[in-house]
């Protein structure tokens, strides 16, 4: 093997400052997608908030799991988004991503709703994620 090629590549990188993109870990991708939901929420952009779910996603309701992203959208519209946008801002704390293989993950954490002249509201959540062609998406939400 020619040792000059790796050195030439190193020299080119050193001179130009160029570096190959480093693939983000699955955990980083999941966290970024989860963060995009709070950004959408805080902008009053419900489609952005919902984009983290697969179309067949389920949520845990008072009577057990119920399905479809449309059901999750209705839950948001009839609860937190009654005025067309949420009254409080959303952030996540204590987020833990546990990989369940190469294509699945369990995410737990705490949601925190603040502002809007209302008392803060917090609660714990568990979500199940799968890797799709569009990236990591939620398949179940237990909030």
Query: Does residue 104 fall inside a structural domain?
Result: yes
Query: Does residue 6 fall inside a structural domain?
Result: no
The confidence score (pLDDT) of residue 24 equals: 73
Element (H, E) at 58: strand 53-61
Q: What gap in Å lies between CA 18 and CA 6, rounded to an integer?
A: 15
Query: Does residue 94 fall inside a structural domain?
Result: yes
Give the residue among 47, 67, 48, 58 at the shortest CA–CA distance from 126: 58
Ramachandran bin of 130, using left for φ above 0, alpha for ψ from -120 to 50, beta for the remaining angles: beta
List 96's β-bridge partners, or say none. Answer: 108
Q: pLDDT of 44-66, one tens digit each? A: 999 999 999 999 999 999 999 99
Query: Does residue 88 fall inside a structural domain?
Result: yes
**Whether the predicted model's global pTM rises above the 0.85 cut:** no
Query: Does residue 138 fall inside a structural domain?
Result: yes
Spatial CB neighbours of 2, under 8 Å, sequence gap ≥ 6:
none
The confidence score (pLDDT) of residue 35 equals: 97
Ramachandran bin of 117, using left for φ above 0, alpha for ψ from -120 to 50, beta for the remaining angles: left
Query: Does residue 2 fall inside a structural domain?
Result: no
Residue linked to tokens 């996603």: 57
Q: Domain limits at 124? A: 25-142
For residue 65, give the DSSP letter: E
Query: Does residue 7 fall inside a structural domain?
Result: no
What is the number of other CB atoms lying within 10 angstroms of the CB of residue 86? 21
User: How many domains are contained in the chain?
Assistant: 1
As given in the structure block, the two tokens for residue 21 are 């993109």
CATH number at residue 73: 3.10.450.50
The confidence score (pLDDT) of residue 18 equals: 43
* Spatial contact of 111 and 143, defined as CB atoms under 8 Å apart: yes
As given in the structure block, the two tokens for residue 52 are 């983290």
The per-residue pLDDT string of the chain (143 residues; one tens digit each, 9 = 90 and over) reads 444 444 444 333 344 444 334 347 999 999 999 999 999 999 999 999 999 999 999 999 999 999 999 999 999 999 989 899 999 999 999 999 999 999 999 999 999 999 999 999 999 999 999 999 999 999 999 99
């Amino acid at each position: 093997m020619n040792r000059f090629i790796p050195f030439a590549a190193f020299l080119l990188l050193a001179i130009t400052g160029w570096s190959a993109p480093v693939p983000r870990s699955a955990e980083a991708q999941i966290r970024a997608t989860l963060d995009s939901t709070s950004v959408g929420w805080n902008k009053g952009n419900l489609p952005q908030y919902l984009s983290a779910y697969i179309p067949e996603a389920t949520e845990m309701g008072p009577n057990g799991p119920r399905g479809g992203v449309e059901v999750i959208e209705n839950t948001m519209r009839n609860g937190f988004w009654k005025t067309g946008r949420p009254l409080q801002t959303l952030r996540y704390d204590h987020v833990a991503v546990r990989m369940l293989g190469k294509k699945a993950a369990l995410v737990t954490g705490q949601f925190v709703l603040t502002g809007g002249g209302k008392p803060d509201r917090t609660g714990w959540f568990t979500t199940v994620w799968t890797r799709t062609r569009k990236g990591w998406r939620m398949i179940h939400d237990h909030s």
